Structure 1
């Protein structure tokens, strides 16, 4: 996709301002091949614009922070749909200033007081724990009129393309500083987007896969589809969190109905964000067949991880459609079914863990008995 400068601005995205961390309905324009201009619908004068230059970015964390400032436009809630707002979910809410000004900030629903009312007018009360803005860290009460639901979608393509230009610039700088790209490797889908069809550099082929990049931060997942594509996993994670990393699927026994996998990044804050996304109680990640993802252990892991595993990855002729993974949300039938399956898997896993502890205890008893004899 090529980026073109827009003369007629389409205000179709929410942007979190660098000045006050509030969300504004905005439009974006790419300028001069190296700048992205954000224009605010409420403040069309150019001196209110916020401009990003490719030269403003010094590392990949800057890119993640930049992408995180953009999202789809939040949606209002009808009075007869107030049950959609539940405890623990993140919403976009109105924060009123002493001067009567209105700004929108993210907040977590701390408590809900549902009240009986007609479909035409909601009278429920909501307590919000503010994440940003002048009320950050405080809990205040509000009504449904002041609450908007965050929508989840793919990152705006213009934002994505600009981020790719920034990443290319950072890669070029790194190439110059280190005298070449011999210590990096890339994985991409081949033309046609067939799953598990990797294209590796010649150096990578000599090693049989991706090179070991040293210390990683990672999460181990269970109950994955046995033919799940690792590239698809990271495409999905990037769409939802704007974080880039790597994923691998472990070989499984023929009698097992599921697979295990790992998601790796090189930044502790990014692995925490991914963990919080996967472990969010407001939704469950499932395959298109409804199989829910399960985090194997609550502890985030750090250490050297051998990434030379390409030859062990499952292969399938299944074509990537973009619908292989889904986020199912609280209050939907899909969520209820996924929650039942997840609870059932947890019961199964807890039983296995109990057997493992029992086996470990018996083995230790045998060791002690051997020593005593």
Structure 2
């Protein structure tokens, strides 16, 4: 297939330098995907992926997130679209190549100008690449707007082939999980072990969840070290899979999420986001805690961090026992980012302040409870 017959309608996050490049994809022999870069037409520059390269749903998720629709340049009269808190694709500063990396617009220095030439200065907080974690200046010419939406059907078809292969292998693996061990917990059945990973709202059905269930069949309780943050004021029927998809779309990080049960009288619930790396958690924390934006459900309920601490330690992966069963993640509680200066942000900020007022009052009551309990204990 010649380069002229390739539809260059995607961007690929290259495995070689972590930059985004304009590309097209070709499915070969029904088991291999070739990624061809528009400005690097030599076959030696192609990236090739085989169905046999993947062994888990997590790997499929990571691969799928490498592709997105081609980003759009910003017109000189459209500079207002590049607002604080917006994730953009921008030219890196490390060399003369046109290599694009993702960055969050940290601030904008607006200047009066004609519709034909933007004179504004943009301060970008780089999310990956050579300048990761650093804020630098940029002009409008260096910035593209990231597009979200369906990718080339060829990528979708390739991931389906991978899933079919994994499904066949996992079916064989699950058969071997039928226990012959007498140390099985009384409240655990072989049926629960096989089906529960499908009920959990973690990214790609969370391969670690399946591992945990398998080890429990052998009488073990596995814990794994994680870095995590606790969230409050979540919708009671929020699907964890929706949380992980949202975090991955906004930060390019694959995380795990759990939503905890709440009392009947409570109008909200709590949850946790976990990753296996402190750097990843810091990036998620900075995204959630960005003062220029709030994360809300479609009903307007804002996420609230339970504390400013980033926790770490062993985390029992058997939390699936406490997870509600979700028939579908297509609920009214789709997540979105609302930006400072919008009516949606003003409403969400008012709701967040109201919740914080309630939480501070509740914390005061808890302190009083502790004092009264100590008095009673000392008296007896």
What TM-score do the two structures reach when normalised by structure 1? 0.71
The residue number in structure 2 matching 1:335 is 345
Provide the rounded CA distance (Å) in 1 between the counterparts of 2:135 and 2:298: 38
Is the 8 Å Cα contact of residues 175 and 181 (structure 1) preserved in structure 2?
Answer: no
Is the 8 Å Cα contact of residues 248 and 263 (structure 1) preserved in structure 2?
Answer: no
The 3 A distance-change label for structure 1 pair 301 and 162 is farther
- CA apart distance, 1:262: 4.0
Among residues 114, 117, 120, which one is paired with 1:118 in the alignment?
114
The residue number in structure 1 matching 2:102 is 106
The 3 A distance-change label for structure 1 pair 213 and 96 is closer
- CA apart distance, 1:32: 2.1
The residue number in structure 2 matching 1:228 is 238
Provide the rounded CA distance (Å) in 2 between the counterparts of 1:262 and 1:112: 33
Which structure has greater helix proportion? 2
Does 1:304 pair with 2:316? yes
Per-residue CA shift, 1:267-320, capped at 9, x if unaligned?
Answer: 77766665555445554332221112223234335422543546x73789xx76
Is the 8 Å Cα contact of residues 213 and 307 (structure 1) preserved in structure 2?
Answer: no
- CA apart distance, 1:38: 0.9
Provide the rounded CA distance (Å) in 2 between the counterparts of 1:228 and 1:129: 30
Give the match's secondary structure for 1:20. coil
The residue number in structure 2 matching 1:252 is 263
Does 1:35 pair with 2:44? no
Is the 8 Å Cα contact of residues 255 and 273 (structure 2) preserved in structure 1?
Answer: no
Provide the rounded CA distance (Å) in 2 between the counterparts of 1:268 and 1:141: 27
Give the match's secondary structure for 1:226. coil
Provide the rounded CA distance (Å) in 2 between the counterparts of 1:212 and 1:164: 34
Among residues 106, 115, 140, which one is paired with 1:144 in the alignment?
140
The residue number in structure 1 matching 2:73 is 76
Among residues 300, 304, 324, which one is paired with 1:313 in the alignment?
324
Per-residue CA shift, 1:215-269, capped at 9, x if unaligned?
Answer: 4745433222233345554555566557364533413232x22233345567777
Provide the rounded CA distance (Å) in 2 between the counterparts of 1:107 and 1:238: 15
The residue number in structure 2 matching 1:326 is 335
Provide the rounded CA distance (Å) in 1 between the counterparts of 2:31 and 2:39: 25
Provide the rounded CA distance (Å) in 2 between the counterparts of 1:22 and 1:48: 14
Provide the rounded CA distance (Å) in 2 between the counterparts of 1:141 and 1:121: 17
Among residues 358, 363, 378, which one is paired with 1:353 in the alignment?
363
The 3 A distance-change label for structure 1 pair 308 and 349 is same
